Amino acid sequence: MSREEHIREFATAALAEGRVDYFIGWQQGYNSSEVIPVFIRDAAEVEQLVWNPLCHHNLVTFLKRNMPDPPDAKIGVCVKGCDSRTLVALLQEELVDKDKLYVVGVPCDGIVDRRKLEKEFAAEMVAIEFPERGKVVVTTRLGETQEFAQDAVLLDVCRLCRYPNPVYADDTAGPLETEPDRKHTQPDWTDIADYENFSDDDKQAVLEQIYSTCIRCFACINVCPVCYCWDRCVNRSRQPELVSQKVGAKENLLFQMIHMMHVAGRCPSCGACDRACPVEIPLYLLHRKMNKEIYDMFGFEPGTSLDEKPVFQTFRIEDEFGD
Amino acid sequence: MADNGNGQGKTRLTSADVVAGATTARAGKQAGNPYLPEVATIVEIVQETSNIKTFRLRFDDTQVQKDFSFKPGQVGQLGVFGVGESTFAITSRPTDDFVQFSVMRAGEVTKALHNLSVGDKVGIRAPMGNGFPVEEWKGKKILFVMGGIGSAALKATIEYTLAHLDDYKGISILYGATAPENFTYQYDVDEWQKRDDIDLTLTIDRECDGWQCEVGLVPAILEKMNPDPAETIAVLCGPPIMIRFSLVSFRKLGFTDEQTYTTLEKRMKCGIGICGRCNVGPKYVCVDGPVFTMAELAELPDEL
Amino acid sequence: MAEETRDQGAENATATTEAGTAGATGEATGSPDTRRVKIIGIVCNWCSYAGADTAGVGRFKQPANLRLVRVPCTGRIDPLFALKAFEKGADGVLISGCHPGDCHYSEGNYYARRKFELMERMIHHLGIPQERFKWTWVSASEGARWQQVVTDFVAGVESLGPRQGRAL
Amino acid sequence: MTIKYLQADRLPAFLEYLAEDARVVAPFKRYGVVQFEPWSSGKDVELDVLLAKQSPKEYIFLQTQTYLKFGYRMEDPETSAPDGPGSDDAASEGEGAAKKAEPDESPTVGIPHETVHVEPILEAQTQVIFGCRPCDARGFVQTDNVFGGYGGFYYDPLYNARREVTTILAVTCREPRSTCFCTAIGGSPAGTEGVDALFTQVEGGFVAEALTEKGEAALAYEGLADAGAAQTDAAAAVKEEAIPKVDMPFELEGIRDNLHDNIEGQQWHHLAMRCISCGTCTYVCPNCYCFSINDQIVETEGERYRVWDNCFNPMYTEETSGHNPRAQKSNRFRNRFSHKFWYYPDKYDSLLCSGCGRCIMHCPTRIDIREVLRVMGSPAPEPEPAAAPATGEGKEA
C-alpha cells in the first residue's frame, strides 16, 4: 500500500470515528505541478488527499493559535520529518492541545524544489509527475517535457536532512525511510559555509542585496509554524509602530532578524518561510546560521524530543556565557 | 521625457470627465493635498473625567480658522507629529472660534495627546464624513441616547439642536455612564438639568450614594422611559454592546430602523475614502459615514 | 519599551533627571551634537541600575554618552529592544544585569544570558559590528566595575565612530 | 495612430533613447526572479517570462512614501526668524507662536518654547514603464478611479503626481499562462486600457502602436521604422491567437449579486482555511491599493509616510479598544474578494481585478481567486435554500 493510500485510510477512519473535525493533508492544486493544503471534513472527500515529493507545505502552520476554525476543532494532520519537529516544538511549550490532535507521520525521502524546476523553463509548468521513485517529469504549457533526477532538484533543506522520519506521530503512513548516515553524526553545516566565509562587509552587502527585494508581505512569519504570535506580531503592528514599517533593505533585515530571534530554539529550519516567500529571498540562510550557533552553544537541535524544553525557555546554572 | 516638453496640462481629468465623482476630484485637486494636516495650537484643555480630556484648538493659520466650518456629527483627524493621527468627533459649536475634540486616553495617539499642554502643536485634518442630517429632522422630536464617551460624538449635534430649538418639536436626552464621575461634559449635564426645555434622563450602572437619577443599563432605562416613536428621531451612540441592546429596545418600542441613527467609529488612516481600512462592506465610514441609519447598517455585512 | 529613561549626560552619573518616555515633544534633553556617539544602556533595576547609582555617588568619572533604560530584570529584555535602539540611531547598546545567582527574581538572568549570547553571535549579520553590542553583569555594589565597563565600552564604540545613517 | 516597427536588436537603443529624459522601468531577471527595476545600460529586458513577480504599481503607488517631514524646534517668540523654505503650507510658526502666548498664562511669554516645523514632500520623476502587460496597465486605470486622477471621487496628489508623468508601454502576451483570466473580466492579452503604446512581439522585433499622445511621443524615436503590412498582419495574428489561449474560468454575470447574497455563507470559512493571512496576494496585485499612514520620529525630527497595507493583516482594522471588526480570518478573506467584485464596482462601476493571476501564482498556499469566484460568485448553495431565489435584490445596497 502506498503512503498516499495509508494517509487516506487514516483520514477516513479518523473522520468516520469522529476523532477529528477535519483532517489536514495535501491535495493537487490547480494543476499537477502544484500541491496545496487541503482540509477534509467529510470522509467522502479523502480521495483528494495526495502524497508526492511536491508536498512541501508544513501543515503544522494550521495548528497555530487563531488558525483552526472553529478555534477548538479536533484536527488530524499529516507531518513530514521536518514538520514533526516544528510540531514537537509547539508541544514542548504546550501551545497545541495534544488531546485534540491526531498526527499522521509521513516518512519522506526529500521534497522537490518547484522553483528550481520553474527556472529551467521560460514557459509555465503545467504538470509535474513522478512515474517512479527518484524520477521527476515536467511538462510545460507549450508541451515540452523534460525528465529530472529527484536528487538533483531537491530543496536545499532536504539535502542535509537528518530526520526523514517524523519524530512524533500517532500513526505512520507506511514503512519508515532508511535513516541516513548523517543522522548519527553531527549536523552538516556545509550549505552555509560559503556565506560564513564572507567578510563582515561582504555579508552585509549580500544580505542587503537579497533583503532589498522583500515586500513585507509577512508570508514568512505567517507561514512559520513556530511563529505563534503571528497575528499580534510586533513586526506587523502599524499602530503602535513597534518596528519600522518602511520597506527598505535595512528595515527588512531588521524585521527578519527580529523574527529569527523570536523563533530561536524552536525553528528547526524547516524552510517553510523560504518556500512561502513570493520574491524568493533565501530566508533559510540566516535561520540555518542561527541554528548552527545554537548547536554550537548548547548542542541542541530544536524540536527533536518531547521531553526537552526549547533552549531559550530554560537554563542551566552551569551555562558558561558572558564574562 | 521627450513628450513632456511642457510640464503642464498632463492630467487627463478633463478628457475623462465621465464618472460622477470627477467634479469632486477636481475640487479636491484644487483644494490641495488632503494628507497634509493644518498645524494648530492647543488653547485650552478641560479634564472631563479621569481619562477624558477636551482639547480646544486654534489653527495657526488665521484664514483657515476663519474658513473652518463643519456639520454636526462630522469628524476630524487629530494628530500628534511623531506619533500619528486618530479620528475624533468634532465637539465644538459651529459658531465657536476654536475647534474642539474630546479624547479618551486609550492608545498611542490619545496617550500622546493627553501628555500635551496648552501651547503645544498638533495637526488637524477636518472636517470629514457626512454628519447628521439635522435639516431633514426639522419638525420632529429628537431623542439622544448615549453612553460614556459616546456623548462626544453627539455633543455637536445636541448643541446644534439646542441652538435651533424652534425647528424641532422637542429634545430628550438619555445619558448613561458607569458611575456619576464618568459623565463627560458634567458642566453641560448640570446646565441641561436646569433647563426645562430638555427632557434629560441620567442613569448609572450601579447604585451609589447621593445619586438622584436612574440606576440601570441604558436599554433598560430606555424601555422604562417608553418614548413614543411617532415623529421622533432616535440618535444612538455609545459602546458597541450598548448600541446592540439599545437597538433591540428601540425595535421593541416600535421605532423603525429608518428613524434610528447612529455614528460609527473605525480605525481610519486617510480619512478620504481611499486607504480601505474603515469600510463596512461597500461603505466607507470616513466618507459615507460616520452617520448611518440602522436601516443602512442592516444592509451591510456584520463587520461593525 | 522604555519604562523610564535617565539622562546621565549632565555633569556626572548622579544626574537623576527622569526624562520620561521620549514622546511627541521629543526628548527633554540631549545634545544636538551628532559627532558624539549615543549609547543606550538597558539595565536591570536591582543590580546594574543601582550599580550606576553607586558609581555616581562615588563620583567615579565616566563618559556621558550613555542613556539608561531601566527594566525590571534582564529576563525582560527582548533582543528586539537592542535592535530597536540601533534602528533609532544608537551607536552602541550595552545590556547589564545582576550576576548569575544574584537575580532578584532568582533566575531571570539565567534565561537572559542565553538570549544575549545568541544575539551577540548574530548581530554582525545585521551589519552591526560586535563591538557595538555588549552585555555584562554589574552588581549594585560594583560602582567601580560599572565605571570600568562603561568607559571601556564607550571607548570601543567611539573608536568606531557614529554609525552612518539612522536606520540600521 | 502611429504604428512602428522596432527591430529586436534595437531595443536597447530604444530604451537608451527613452532614458534620455526619463527613468525607464522594465522587467529584469535577478537570481532567476523577474521584477520591475530601473533600467540601466547593459541590462537585458526579460520578456520571455510572462509576468514579473509584482506588477509595476510600486513605481506609481510607492510602497513607502514619505509625504511630510516635521521637526520640533525651540523658538523664542521675540527673536524667531522666519522659517526655512518649504513650510508655506504649514502656516507660519512665528505667528502661531505669538498667538499661542495670548490665551496662555503670562509666565511663558518670552520664554523659548516648542514649535513644530512642517514640510510637505511631493516629488515625481518622469518615467517610462516598458514591458508591463496589458493587465498591469489596466490595473492603473482601476486604481486611477480610487485615487481620483481620472474621475474618481477623491483626489490623491501623491499618486497622481507620479501617474501623470508616467508613460506605459505594454507588451502583448503571446503565451498567456494557465492562471491568466483577463478575458473573463473584460480584458485581453492585447488590451489597450491604460496603455500608452502597445508592443507586440513578432518575428525579429516588435510592432508598436501608439494609443495616446504619450505613446506617440515615445514612438517618435527615429530608430523605429514604419511597420509594413506584413508586420502589422503578423501582429494582428499574434493578438488573435493569444485571446483564445486565455481560459474563461467563470462567468462574470451575477458575481456581484451573488457575493452580496453569500455574504454570510459558510463557504467563506472553508475557502479561507488555507489562507495564512499574509499580504502576498495584495502586494503582487496590480489593483490592490490599501495603505497605512505611520509616523516615525527620532528625537525631534520625524516624518509621516504612507506604506502599503493589506486587509489580511489581522491588526489592520483592530481598534484601540481591542475590538476588531474583521477578527476572523474568514472575514478578512471575504473582504478582499468582495472588495474587488462588489464594493469597488458599486462605487466606480468597474472591477478591481485585471485577471493577471499573480495572486494565484504567488500565494504560499495557492488560494485561487477563480475558485473563490466560482464558489461564492454562484447563487447561494443548497444548505441555505431560502437565500437562493433571492438573487437580484442586492442592487439596493
CA distance D280 to chain B (A): 17
Give yes or no for a contact between A132 and D58, defined as CB atoms under 8 angstroms apart: no
The whole-angstrom separation of Cα D329 and Cα D341 is: 19
Q: Tell me whether A242 touches chain D (CB under 8 Å).
A: no
The whole-angstrom separation of Cα A315 and Cα C107 is: 9
CB contact under 8 A, D397 and B302: no
Nearest CA in chain C to A289: C122
Cβ neighbours of B106 in A, within 8 Å: none
Give yes or no for a contact between A271 and A155, defined as CB atoms under 8 angstroms apart: yes
CA distance B78 to chain D (A): 13
* Helix, coil or strand: residue B111: helix
Give yes or no for a contact between A226 and C91, defined as CB atoms under 8 angstroms apart: no
What's C99's DSSP letter?
A: P
Report the CATH number of the C5-10+36-159 domain: 3.40.50.960
What pLDDT shows up at residue A37?
96
Nearest CA in chain C to D113: C25
CB contact under 8 A, D298 and C30: no
Helices (H), C17-60: 48-57
D366 pLDDT tier (thresholds 50, 70, 90): very high
Nearest CA in chain C to B80: C24
The whole-angstrom separation of Cα B235 and Cα B146 is: 8
Question: pLDDT (tens digit, 9 = 90+) per residue, B237-250?
Answer: 988 888 889 999 99
Examine the pLDDT at B185 and tell me if it is beyond 50.
yes
Chain A neighbours (≥3 Cβ pairs under 8 A) are B, C, D
* Helix, coil or strand: residue B247: helix
Domain boundaries, chain C: 5-10+36-159
Cβ neighbours of C24 in B, within 8 Å: 80-83, 112, 115-116, 120
CATH number of the domain within which B97 lies: 2.40.30.10
Same domain, B97 and B145: no
- Regarding pTM above 0.90, the answer is no
The whole-angstrom separation of Cα B110 and Cα B96 is: 23
The whole-angstrom separation of Cα D239 and Cα B65 is: 59
CATH number of the domain within which B234 lies: 3.40.50.80
Question: pLDDT (tens digit, 9 = 90+) per residue, D187-202?
Answer: 999 999 999 999 999 9
In this structure, are strands A22-28 and A35-40 parallel, antiparallel, or unpaired?
antiparallel
Cell numbers for D152: 474618481
Average model confidence (pLDDT) across chain D: 84
The whole-angstrom separation of Cα A244 and Cα B296 is: 38
Residue partners of D188: CB distance under 8 A and separation at least 6: D134, D182, D239, D243, D246
pLDDT tens, residue order, chain C (168 aa): 333 333 333 323 323 323 333 333 333 344 444 468 899 999 999 999 999 999 999 999 989 889 999 999 999 999 999 998 988 889 999 999 999 999 999 999 999 999 999 999 988 887 788 899 999 999 999 999 999 999 999 999 999 888 875 445
Question: pLDDT (tens digit, 9 = 90+) per residue, A142-159?
Answer: 999 999 999 999 998 898
What beta strand segments (E) does D242-300 contain?
291-298
Which of the listed residues B248, B263, B278 is the one where a domain comes to its end?
B263
CB contact under 8 A, B115 and C26: no
Q: What are all long-range contacts of B133-138, with beta carbons under 8 Å and residues at least 24 apart?
A: B133/B291, B134/B71, B134/B72, B134/B160, B134/B161, B134/B164, B137/B161, B137/B167, B137/B168, B137/B233, B138/B167, B138/B168
D110 pLDDT tier (thresholds 50, 70, 90): low
Number of domains in chain B: 2
Q: What is the CA radius of gyration of chain A?
A: 20
Residue B272 covered by a domain: no
Nearest in space to D297 (alpha carbons), one of C23, B200, A321, A42: C23
Q: Tell me whether B97 touches chain D (CB under 8 Å).
A: no
Residue B283 covered by a domain: no
Which of the listed residues B128, B155, B173 is the one where a domain comes to its end?
B128
Cβ neighbours of D297 in C, within 8 Å: 24, 26
In this structure, are strands A125-129 and B38-49 parallel, antiparallel, or unpaired?
unpaired
D64 pLDDT tier (thresholds 50, 70, 90): very high
CB contact under 8 A, C166 and D299: no
Cβ neighbours of D298 in C, within 8 Å: 88-89, 166
Mutate to test the interface with D, among B15, B29, B39 (most CBs of D within 10 A): B39
Q: What percent of chain B has pLDDT over 70?
A: 90
Cell numbers for A75: 484536527
Cell numbers for A55: 508536498
Higher-confidence position of A110 and D154: A110
Give yes or no for a contact between D36 and D26, defined as CB atoms under 8 angstroms apart: yes
DSSP for A16-31, written as a single string: HTTS-SEEEEEEE-SS
Q: Tell me whether C114 touches chain A (CB under 8 Å).
A: yes
What pLDDT shows up at residue B301?
86
Residue partners of B265: CB distance under 8 A and separation at least 6: B87, B153, B285, B290, D319
Whats the size of chain C, residue-wise?
168
What's A177's DSSP letter?
A: P
* Helix, coil or strand: residue B258: helix
Neighbours of D394 (CB within 10 A): 18
Element (H, E) at C7: strand C5-7
Examine the pLDDT at D33 and tell me if it is beyond 70.
yes
What ipTM does the predicted assembly reach? 0.86
Cβ neighbours of D300 in C, within 8 Å: 26-27
- Positions in chain A whose pLDDT score sits under 70: none
Mutate to test the interface with B, among A239, A241, A244 (most CBs of B within 10 A): A239
The whole-angstrom separation of Cα D212 and Cα C79 is: 54
What pLDDT shows up at residue B14?
30
Give yes or no for a contact between A222 and D276, defined as CB atoms under 8 angstroms apart: yes
Q: Tell me whether A319 touches chain C (CB under 8 Å).
A: yes
Give the CA count within 13 Å in the CB-facing half-sphere of D349. Answer: 7
In this structure, are strands B141-147 and B170-177 parallel, antiparallel, or unpaired?
parallel
Mutate to test the interface with D, among A245, A283, A284 (most CBs of D within 10 A): A245
What pLDDT shows up at residue C17?
29
Question: pLDDT (tens digit, 9 = 90+) per residue, B187-242?
Answer: 888 898 888 888 899 999 888 888 888 888 899 999 988 888 888 999 999 888 88
Residue B22 covered by a domain: no
CB contact under 8 A, B116 and C26: no
Cell numbers for D394: 442586492
B289 pLDDT tier (thresholds 50, 70, 90): confident
Question: pLDDT (tens digit, 9 = 90+) per residue, D293-314?
Answer: 999 988 889 999 999 999 999 9
CA distance A240 to chain B (A): 6
Higher-confidence position of D281 and D391: D281
Question: pLDDT (tens digit, 9 = 90+) per residue, D317-330?
Answer: 988 888 889 988 99
Same domain, B112 and B194: no
Question: pLDDT (tens digit, 9 = 90+) per residue, A49-106?
Answer: 999 999 999 999 999 988 998 889 999 999 999 999 999 999 999 999 999 999 999 9
Domain span at B82: 38-128
CA distance C110 to chain B (A): 33
Nearest in space to D142 (alpha carbons), one of D316, D295, D354, D290: D354
Q: What percent of chain D has pLDDT over 90?
A: 59
Nearest in space to D276 (alpha carbons), one of A52, A110, A24, A73: A24
Same domain, B182 and B226: yes
Question: pLDDT (tens digit, 9 = 90+) per residue, C68-97?
Answer: 999 999 999 999 999 989 888 899 999 999
Give yes or no for a contact between A322 and C117, defined as CB atoms under 8 angstroms apart: yes
Mutate to test the interface with B, among C25, C27, C88 (most CBs of B within 10 A): C25
Give the CA count within 13 Å in the CB-facing half-sphere of D158. Answer: 25
